């Protein structure tokens, strides 16, 4: 019944699956990064270490944001089902 409002449940579920895939790819990339090797220059090594730590922090934040959006979209699907059920229960029968 709530689908009459233009809600495309399948499109939302597909977006959730795609976001979950993005999150998995980001997590996989972080695991594959490995250790930095010494460059022979203390300044370069420190700069690379700082850059790597900042990149990991940003990636962690991005993974959390993607997971949050996927969770919210999943909540939209749940809310839609609840609304649809409530509307169906309110519908007068003749």
pLDDT of residue 89: 82
pLDDT of residue 28: 84
pTM: predicted TM-score of the whole model, two decimal places: 0.69
Q: Higher model confidence: residue 66 or residue 86?
A: 66
d(CA 45, CA 49): 6
Which tens digits make up the pLDDT trace of 68-89? Answer: 999 999 999 999 888 888 888 8
pLDDT of residue 93: 65
Which tens digits make up the pLDDT trace of 6-20? Answer: 788 899 999 999 999
Q: Is 40 helix (H, G, I), strand (E, B) or coil?
A: coil
């Amino acid at each position: 019944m709530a689908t009459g409002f233009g809600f495309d449940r399948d499109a939302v579920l597909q977006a959730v699956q795609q976001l979950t895939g993005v999150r998995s790819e980001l997590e996989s990339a972080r695991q594959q990064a490995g250790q930095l090797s010494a460059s022979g220059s203390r300044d370069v090594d420190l700069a690379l270490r700082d850059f790597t730590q900042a990149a990991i922090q940003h990636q962690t934040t991005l993974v959390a944001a993607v997971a949050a959006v996927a969770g919210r979209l999943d909540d939209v699907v749940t809310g839609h089902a609840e609304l649809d059920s409530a509307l169906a229960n309110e519908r007068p029968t003749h």
